Structure 1
Amino acid sequence: MNNLIDDLGRRVDYLRISVTDRCNLRCYYCMPSQGVDLTDHKEILTYEEIVKVVQASVRLGVKKVRLTGGEPLLRPEIVNLVRMLKGIGGINEVSLTTNGILLNKYGEELLSVGLDRVNISLDTLDPNKFKRITGYDQHRQVISGIEKALELGLDPVKVNVVLMKGINDDEIFDFINLTKEKPLHIRFIEFMPAGNNSAKDDDRYLSIGNLKARIRKRERLLPTKFNKGNGPAYYYQLPNALGTLGFITPISNHFCSSCNRLRLTATGQLRPCLSSDNEYGLKEILRGNKEIKELEEVFLKSIRRKPKEHQMEQGDNFFKNMSEIGG
């Protein structure tokens, strides 16, 4: 039975868990170039504490979890956490969002303990542009990580592309062509600024509607039944392509009415909405030897405060960097 149903009838069965605020890239839309003040290790939830939170969430109806960061593969012994989560009765899926740099190193171990699937972030296929966007010369490592995921048979392998006008929108068809050659699921995501400006006022913002119009001038977008995942992407497929194209519209056509998720930050804050800074602390409960029932009560409180919709198009800003929230 799912008790995580808010006043609008939205049923939450998906928990995104940030396991660290550390990252080995400095993507300028996610983290300042100088980095952020790193949280002391003792403030970060232990794996045992994360498991206890997930166990409480399962009792209320959560069935799927996704590990995020920062970069989750930087967290020591992350393979053990995946193993622990897969051992929780009621969890049907454990997935991972990564920048791919360490996926070649850890991919086989992650698969061996039951990781179900992976999303890999990659905003450009140009190594020089990659360095400008991320601050690091790690493009080859990300490509290697994508190749490893395909080699291991992780299914599906999704590649998340944050769409930025004047920065990577000249590569749209390069990404699209990947779906013709490989069983990759390329997902274009509208740019979400983490500042005071409204999204549509940002020079980098390009709507998915505009993108689709450009694509349709050269390619046929066919409906597809592909729908593996927990998120809001709408998928299409090119004729005879091995993969698909996904479009995610958090600004131009937000999907708040069907939002099925909560977020847990690395420091134990439960967030009902990505763009709202309403948070509900779990760490005091976890470290106070209190009953799991008290964790459940915070989940229920959080779901009652889940906003109707985000306000990013009006300029409602994040007071934390994306790397701290878990995106």
Structure 2
Amino acid sequence: MSIMKDRLSRPLQDLRISITDKCNFRCQYCMPADIFGPDFKFLPKNDILSFEEIERLAAAFSKLGVSKLRITGGEPLLRKDVASLISRLHQIPGIKDIGLTTNGVLLPRLAIDLVNAGLHRVNVSLDALNDDIFKKINGRGVSSKVVLKGIKAARDAGLGVKVNMVVQKGVNESEIIPMARHFKDMGVALRYIEFMDVGNSNGWDFSKVVTKKEIFGMLSDHFDLEPMDPNYFGEVAKRYRYKNTDTEVGFITSVSESFCSSCTRARISADGKFYTCLFASKGYDLRGLVRACKEEEPLINEISSIWNQRKDRYSDERTEESAKSKEKIEMSYIGG
């Protein structure tokens, strides 16, 4: 293992794998309804990586130091038999942690199967408790109560749970304190995510960003917070604890406090493109190599070559102009 890891010029320990581009409702980072609507053309089935191909890729990445996997989408729970994929990944040597990002809708049906397959935790996207606000965001009239049922099902099944809230000025900043109170009382970790310019169709500009500093100031008027040390090198969340509790709150600060220099995260799209940055314009095709070659060594060589050429510093260098002019892959495709 260490010999393989030595091939890399910088650490690679976290791999996010998108397994579908389909979703059952949209979030603030997905395409707007006028694009991501009933007529949107999803990836053909043959273009999407099979579970065997995903397993082979994950095994190759594990040889280069990846120990954490995150299954994403679209909505990953829409992929048929997703628990069987989790079971395959759980058996790969070196993989110590498997998480899944979801909107939570299907968790009441699937949580127990996912735990039995080896899933450790879920990150559930919920941008508001207020139904009027949440329904406007998701564009499908889905109630926040549906997502809350999913969170409860995940906890009851024994999964670790974090809630992700993307905060956008003029949309849901009024929900910052209600969300904090609710999940503090539940003992569930909450992550506030600065509204980012992922893709080119979510209408982003700096004026819509509520920064970590602003959110922390609001929280400090209501709660006593104390900082927590990072769990590991490359952890992107800046974490705090409500005093006299074990419940934490965190911030993903890609806009106001970038973390490019310590990023150890790679991404694979559902059709097998390798992305070295969330804000990348292009990916590198691994699907063709996986399908043409049954040996592991060429995969490892290709992955290490791509990673060693990585020069991504988009969040460090972001300007209002670059955010609007640079073409970036959509969140609904890469999965976050």
TM-score, structure 1 as length reference: 0.92
Q: How big is the shift at 1:112?
A: 0.9
Q: How many angstroms does 1:114 deviate by?
A: 1.1
Residues 39-60 of structure 1: per-residue CA shift (max 9 Å, x gap): 1010000000000111111122
Is structure 2 residue 164 aligned with structure 1 residue 160? Answer: yes
**Aligned Cα RMSD in Å?**
2.2
- 1:97 matched residue in structure 2: 101
Name the counterpart of 1:5: 8
**Is 1:191–1:199's contact at 8 Å kept on the other side of the alignment?**
no
Alignment of 1:1-327 (within 5 A): 1=2, 2-3=5-6, 5-6=8-9, 10-34=10-34, 35=36, 36-139=40-143, 140-155=145-160, 157-194=161-198, 201-224=205-228, 227=231, 231-311=235-315, 313-314=318-319, 315-316=322-323, 317-327=326-336
Partner secondary structure for residue 95 of structure 2: coil
Residues 24, 200 of structure 1: alpha-carbon distance in 2 compared, 3 angstrom cutoff: closer
SS at match of 2:314: coil
Is contact 2:200-2:330 (8 Å) kept? no
Whether the 8 Å CA contact 1:68–1:96 is kept in 2: the answer is yes
Q: 1:199 to 1:248 in 2, by over 3 A?
A: farther
CA distance in 1, matches of 2:202, 2:136: 24
Contact map agreement 1:159 1:184 (CA 8 A) in 2: yes
Amino acid across the alignment from 2:129: L
Distance 1:318 1:131, change over 3 A: farther
Change (3 A) 1:119 1:28: closer
Q: Does the 8 Å CA contact 1:4/1:13 hold for their aligned counterparts?
A: no
| Counterparts in 2 of 1:195 and 1:45: CA distance versus 1, 3 Å | closer
Identity %: 37
1:194 deviates by 3.5
* 316-325 vs 44-53, which moves further: 316-325
Change (3 A) 1:235 1:159: same
Q: Secondary structure, in 3 states, of the residue corresponding to 2:162? A: strand
Say which SS state the counterpart of residue 115 (structure 1) adopts: coil
- The Cα shift of 1:253 comes to 0.7
* In 1: Cα distance, 2:242 partner to 2:120 partner: 26
Structure 2 portions without partners, runs of 5+:
none
Structure 2 counterpart of 1:148, which letter? Answer: A
SS in 1 for 2:151: helix
Q: In the alignment, is the contact (CA less than 8 A) between 2:99 and 2:121 conserved in 1? A: yes
| 2:162 and 2:188 in contact (8 A); partners too | yes
Contiguous gaps of at least 5 residues in structure 1: none
Q: Is the 8 A contact 1:26 1:134 kept in 2?
A: yes
Paired residue type of 2:21:
D
1:75 deviates by: 0.3
- Tell me the alpha carbon deviations over residues 31-78 of structure 1, each in whole angstroms, 9 at most, x when there is no partner: 221414201010000000000111111122111111000000000000
Cα distance between partner residues in 1 of 2:83 and 2:233: 21
Letter of the structure 2 residue corresponding to residue 320 of structure 1: I
- How much does 1:313 deviate? 2.7
Preserved CA contact (<8 Å) 1:200 1:313: no
Change in 2 beyond 3 A, CA 1:270/1:92: same
Q: CA deviation at 1:228?
A: 8.2
